[in-house]
């Protein structure tokens, strides 16, 4: 967020695509940005509006139904289009056309995601083995980020790439919550949930220090046009 504050002008108007429940929206608002949060999922949109109700009342946040390809925004109204952990869902050509439509002439696009697969510390390697063993059918090649070679499809011009180390300490319970909430792994009601918990407990016991394990992410940010 400190880097974003340097590269995005203060009080910018941001269209955040795939805003979810507002985990990225909230710090953008804290930077003084005006945010139009676009989220196609009804349940997530309700949570977002409730969590950040004060910003909605103050006129700093609009919560809208839409997608990257069809935002519903007026042409030339935003300084920045941003997406956190969402760009891999976009249809690149259609999204790029829509971004060009809603951005002001000097507007930019910011794509951000966390990726534990790009870090090779011992616990990441162990967690990766568990994930591969429990991938649900059809998710064997799941994407949680835009592959580097496809970035030009969304950002064809003048882009920069920044990488930040983001090490997250997790209790056993938080590790369970992380895995069981992943769309590509068995959920809490799945018949495989107990086996997944048991596998997670096994790697937790080996790698924990004082009741915590460290899952190391790389936070990748692309800023471009």
Domains delineated in the chain: 2-224 (3.40.50.150)
The whole-angstrom distance between residue 155's C-alpha and the CA centroid of its chain comes to 17
What is the per-residue pLDDT for 9? Answer: 87
Question: Cβ–Cβ contacts within 10 Å for residue 32, how many?
Answer: 11
What is the per-residue pLDDT for 77? Answer: 96
What is the per-residue pLDDT for 98? Answer: 97
What is the per-residue pLDDT for 158? Answer: 82
What is the per-residue pLDDT for 142? Answer: 57
Low-confidence ranges of the chain (pLDDT < 50): none
Consecutive H or E run containing 202:
helix 193-207
Using DSSP's 3-state secondary structure scheme, residue 132 falls into helix
What is the per-residue pLDDT for 190? Answer: 93
What is the chain's length?
225
* Helix spans in 18-63 (H): 25-30, 42-51, 53-57
What is the per-residue pLDDT for 41? Answer: 95
For 13-44, the pLDDT digits (tens) are 999 999 999 999 999 999 999 999 999 999 99
What is the per-residue pLDDT for 141? Answer: 53
What is the per-residue pLDDT for 144? Answer: 66
């Amino acid at each position: 967020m400190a880097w974003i504050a340097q590269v995005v002008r203060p009080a910018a108007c941001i269209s955040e695509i795939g805003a979810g429940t507002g985990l990225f929206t909230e710090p953008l608002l804290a930077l003084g940005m005006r945010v139009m949060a676009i989220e196609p999922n009804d349940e997530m949109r309700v949570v977002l509006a409730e969590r950040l109700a004060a910003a909605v009342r103050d006129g700093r946040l609009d919560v809208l139904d839409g997608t990257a390809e069809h935002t519903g925004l007026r042409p030339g109204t935003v300084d920045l289009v941003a997406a956190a952990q969402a760009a891999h869902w976009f249809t690149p050509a259609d999204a790029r056309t829509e971004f060009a439509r809603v951005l002001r002439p000097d507007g930019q696009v910011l794509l951000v995601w966390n990726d534990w697969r790009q870090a090779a510390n011992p616990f990441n390697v162990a967690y990766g083995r568990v994930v591969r063993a429990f991938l649900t059918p059809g998710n064997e090649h799941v994407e949680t980020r835009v592959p580097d070679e496809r970035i030009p499809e969304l950002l064809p011009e003048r882009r920069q790439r920044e990488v930040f180390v983001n090490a997250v300490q997790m209790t056993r319970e938080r590790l369970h919550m992380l895995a069981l909430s992943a769309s590509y792994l068995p959920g809490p009601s799945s018949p495989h949930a107990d086996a997944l918990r048991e596998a997670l407990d096994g790697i937790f016991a080996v790698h924990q220090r004082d009741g915590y394990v460290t899952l190391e992410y790389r936070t990748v940010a692309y800023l471009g046009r």
